Structure 1
Amino acid sequence: MTEKAEPTLFEWAGGAEALERLTETFYGHVKKDDLIGPLFAHMDPSHPAYVAMWLGEVFGGPDRYTRERGGYPHMLSQHLGKGITEPQRRRWVSLLLDAADEVGLPDDPEFRAAFVGYIEWGTRLALANSQPGATPPPKAPVPRWGWGVAPPYQP
């Protein structure tokens, strides 16, 4: 008897299409937000697609962000010197979680715990790395986020 392979978070979320819907919806809200909208006032129109690629790679999908955008060093470069505040970080998280509900990402506790775990971890790093004088490591792999201690229930 062969054991069924555990799906990646990328697969469980619905793949690239689901993450693209998420980031398109999310950045639509970001642009209208008084607290974080100004940070994205001059956002590249492709920015939502790039963030979807990043999330896809982090959650176990294809390594497109690394191959097409430069991986971690490029992501880091997008945050250096931005001076993100804690209220801005929290609003970013809140709007992303609202968008996840709006586009119908899976809402089972296991997926959402893993999803929120990465979003908290990643945004706290972005906050720290954006501060004046921050000296984060210039090179690192793209993180690969998994289920943690509670894999999805599959009867």
Structure 2
Amino acid sequence: MTDANATSLYDAVGGEDTFRRLVKRFYEQVKVDDIMAPMYPDDDWEGAEDRLRWFLIQYWGGPRTYAEQRGNPMLRRRHFPFEIDAAAAERWLELMGNSLAEIDADTIDDAQRHALWNHMQQVAYMVINKA
């Protein structure tokens, strides 16, 4: 941002609490999903949740915990070990969309929701690595 006084989206939507709720709800769905669950190791659900939350928080202007813990995001590279096709990307978006929809408009307004969703779509399609 060019304006040092501008509020980040992270702060505008309620900070860590909002991202924690979003990611927690997302992984509650992933754990029982026939397409998504097999991509995650059973013994690292908490770690997966932490990493996604840290990434989103950092991307949207919050603390840089992701970089401190994991370095550069390198999303395509980090997801390359997983076979991600268009169906998996669509399911990821469906589950994230469900999670985002559960957060009220007083917390995330339409413009913020649009910005979040646009980014989610870009990332989901960017990590596709299988036709």
Q: TM-score, normalised by structure 2?
A: 0.83
SS in 1 for 2:102: helix
Q: For residues 77 and 14 of structure 1, what CA distance do their matches in structure 2 show?
A: 31
Could you tell me how far 1:41 is from its partner in structure 2?
4.5
Matched pairs, number: 127
**Aligned residue number for residue 124 of structure 2:** 123
Could you tell me how far 1:96 is from its partner in structure 2?
0.8
| Letter matched to residue 55 of structure 2 | W
1:76-133 superposed Cα distances (whole Å, 9 cap, x missing partner):
4430131201111111111112112224473422111100110011111111xx349x
**Aligned residue number for residue 67 of structure 2:** 66
The structure that has the greater radius of gyration is 1
**Aligned residue number for residue 51 of structure 1:** 52
CA RMSD across the alignment: 2.3
Contact 2:89 2:124 in 1 (8 A): yes
Distance 1:4 1:71, change over 3 A: closer
**Aligned residue number for residue 99 of structure 2:** 99
Alignment of 1:72-111 (within 5 A): 72-73=73-74, 75-104=75-104, 106-111=107-112
| Letter matched to residue 119 of structure 1 | M
Could you tell me how far 1:40 is from its partner in structure 2?
2.1
Q: For residues 10 and 76 of structure 1, what CA distance do their matches in structure 2 show?
A: 24
Q: For residues 34 and 124 of structure 2, what CA distance do their matches in structure 1 show?
A: 19
| Letter matched to residue 33 of structure 1 | D
**Aligned residue number for residue 36 of structure 2:** 36
Identity of aligned residues (%): 23
Q: For residues 54 and 79 of structure 1, what CA distance do their matches in structure 2 show?
A: 14
More helix by share: 2
Q: For residues 81 and 41 of structure 2, what CA distance do their matches in structure 1 show?
A: 16
Q: For residues 18 and 40 of structure 1, what CA distance do their matches in structure 2 show?
A: 23
SS in 2 for 1:14: coil
Structure 1, unpaired ranges of 5+: 133-155
Structure 2, unpaired ranges of 5+: none
